[in-house]
């Protein structure tokens, strides 16, 4: 069965304390992996798409990487405005729709 | 924000009543989606549309129907609402075939 698992479920960081979120997947043929950010009471906001192992994408303090089994979202020197829930989603070759993980809730305190 | 609106934004209804949620876009994107989001489950696809009058089921489609008579509108109907359909519903659009999707603000539905 295709699965997407995000860890940890929640992460509390001090401002400036870098960390990484994990998205592991067991799927039968990955077409792409997507990262989204979701603020409370809002819809998810698209961040990155990764298509092949070894690929990296960056945006401000965020960097996403992809291996054959998992993806990491690195948050470097986070600020309070980086507080959000981060969602990953996989797109399968066999079924092109997105399958989402449950998310990691990140809180960054000043 | 992408031009996506959802209505209503909040709704409380009773078990057994019909409910229709509306998604409206101004981006002229071909693909539209309905998801539900529940704690511990993430976003799950209910139905999607790949053109006017062209729709298909997602992974949790039981109890839901959809219609798309115009490019800009995608309706989600709960024919007879149940308490298990209490959730936050998100509409999304894409112009690149299931790739980058842009989400609306969501509708919080409570079925008593």
CATH 3.90.1170.40 fits B4-111, yes or no: no
The reply to whether residue A46 touches residue B92, judged by beta carbons under 8 angstroms, is no
The reply to whether residue B100 touches residue A49, judged by beta carbons under 8 angstroms, is yes
Cβ-count burial A71-104 (b if 16+ within 10 Å, e if not) = bbbebeebeeebbbbbbbbbbbeebebbbbbbbb
Contacts of residue B45 in chain A, CB cutoff 8 Å? 97-99
Q: If you average pLDDT over every residue of chain A, what do you get?
A: 93
Mean pLDDT within A57-61: 96
Q: If you average pLDDT over every residue of chain B, what do you get?
A: 93
Residue of A nearest to B31 (CA): A97
Residue range B70-83, pLDDT digits in tens: 999 999 999 999 99
Which helix (H) or strand (E) segment holds residue B73: the answer is strand B73-78
CATH 3.40.50.10140 fits A3-109, yes or no: no
Higher pLDDT among residues A35 and A30, named by residue: A35
pLDDT at B2: 62
User: Which residues of chain B have a Cβ shorter than 8 Å from any chain A Cβ?
Assistant: 4, 33, 40-45, 48, 58-59, 90, 92, 97-106
In angstroms, the CA B55 to CA B74 distance is 10
Higher pLDDT among residues A28 and B53, named by residue: B53
Mean pLDDT within A33-56: 95
The domain segmentation of chain A, as residue ranges, is 3-109
Residue range B30-67, pLDDT digits in tens: 999 999 999 878 899 999 999 999 999 998 999 999 99
């Amino acid at each position: 069965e295709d699965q997407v698992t995000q860890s940890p479920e929640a992460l509390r960081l001090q401002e400036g304390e870098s960390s990484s979120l994990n998205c592991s997947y067991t799927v039968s043929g990955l077409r792409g992996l997507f990262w989204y950010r979701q603020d409370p009471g809002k819809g998810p906001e698209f961040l990155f798409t990764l298509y092949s192992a070894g690929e990296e994408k960056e945006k401000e303090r965020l960097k996403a990487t992809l291996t054959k089994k998992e993806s990491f979202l690195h948050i470097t020197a986070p600020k309070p405005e980086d507080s959000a829930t981060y969602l990953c989603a996989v797109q399968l070759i066999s079924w092109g729709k997105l399958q989402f993980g449950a998310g990691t809730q990140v809180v960054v305190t000043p | 924000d992408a031009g996506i609106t959802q209505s209503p934004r909040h709704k409380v209804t009773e078990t057994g009543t019909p409910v229709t949620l509306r998604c409206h876009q101004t981006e002229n994107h071909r693909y539209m989606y309905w998801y539900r989001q529940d704690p511990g489950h993430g976003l799950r696809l209910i139905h999607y549309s790949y053109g006017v009058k062209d729709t298909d089921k997602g992974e949790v489609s039981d109890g839901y129907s959809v219609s798309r008579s115009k490019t800009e509108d995608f309706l989600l109907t709960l024919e007879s609402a149940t308490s298990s359909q209490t959730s936050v519903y998100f509409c999304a659009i894409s112009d690149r075939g299931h790739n980058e999707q842009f989400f609306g603000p969501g509708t919080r539905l409570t079925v008593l």
